[in-house]
Amino acid sequence: MVKRGIKSGPRMADRVYEDIRRAIVQGELKPGERITEEVLADRFGASRTPVRSAIVRLASDGFVDMTPHSGTAVKSRARHEIAEIYDVRAMLESFAARLAAERHEEHHLARLDGIQSELEELSAAARRGEREDAVDALSSLNLGFHQAILDAAGNPTLKDSANRLMDIGFLINTYASFDASEIDRSVSDHRKLLTAIRSRDGAWAEALMRAHILGARNSLIDHPPRH
């Protein structure tokens, strides 16, 4: 082989994993699309070995389906599967919200406040002018908010389980939150949630988070993204 990609610092397999993952999440690789190891290897300037390693991990994470000698395809999910994922997320994250309310430290709150104010500003800006750039940023801030709550809950296993599901549903989320009213609802949900957590009201936080996620779930079912 001639040359590896750009830099040789991190492991090639990791870079390939991240890249494929991102490609899937961003919709560059569509559900059902077949991916062959050789093509990916060429695309990333690597050999098949690290690509293989990456694919194995992606399969374990539920992003692709690997069938023995036939090939690998981006996993496609039926509507009801998406709904199921949201149901489980609702359980996990509402639990996290309760724990966060009950156990959070001051710095967790500070981080949540920071993210929330960015979220407020950005959504206000998005409602007016440059919405195009804002969607990605909002999506990422939204993710950050949920992460922060999971951190505040102080249960790494819980965070891990929830993240697995969040990652899988991320693509959907991105498109769904394109809707302006959805953005407003989400930001306002977060605001209430933050209040509940700040006042250490576990039950309230739990209920709000459940409603927040199930709300997203239902609006997603009513207005499915293009597929």
Partner DNA sequence: ACTTGACCCATTGGATACAATGAGCGAGAT
Partner DNA sequence: ATCTCGCTCATTGTATCCAATGGGTCAAGT
CA-CA-CA-CA torsion sign (96, 99, 101, 104): negative
Q: Which of 19, 31, 48, 198 binds DNA (CB under 7 A)?
A: 48
Count of residues interacting with DNA (CB under 7 A): 23
| DSSP structure class, residue 154 | T
Q: Which of 19, 23, 27, 37 binds DNA (CB under 7 A)?
A: 37
Q: Which chain residues interact with a copy of itself by CB under 8 A? A: 11, 52-53, 56-57, 60-62, 68, 81, 84-85, 87-88, 91-92, 95, 155-158, 160-161, 164-165
CA 87 to chain centre: 15
Cβ atoms of 29 and 71 within 8 Å: the answer is no
194 binds, among DNA, a copy of itself, none (CB under 5 to 8 A by kind): none
Q: How far is the CB of 114 from a copy of itself (least distance, A)?
A: 27
Q: Give the nearer residue to DNA in terms of CB position, either 70 or 181.
A: 70
109-to-53, 113, 116, 128, 151 alpha-carbon distances in Å:
39, 6, 10, 29, 11
A 10 A CB-CB count for 106 gives 7
Q: Quick one: which of 166, 185, 178 has its CA closest to 92? A: 166
Interaction mask 67-86, DNA, x per CB under 7 A:
-xxxxx--------------
Where along the sequence are the contacts to DNA (CB under 7 A)? 1, 4, 8, 11-13, 35-38, 46-50, 52-53, 66, 68-72
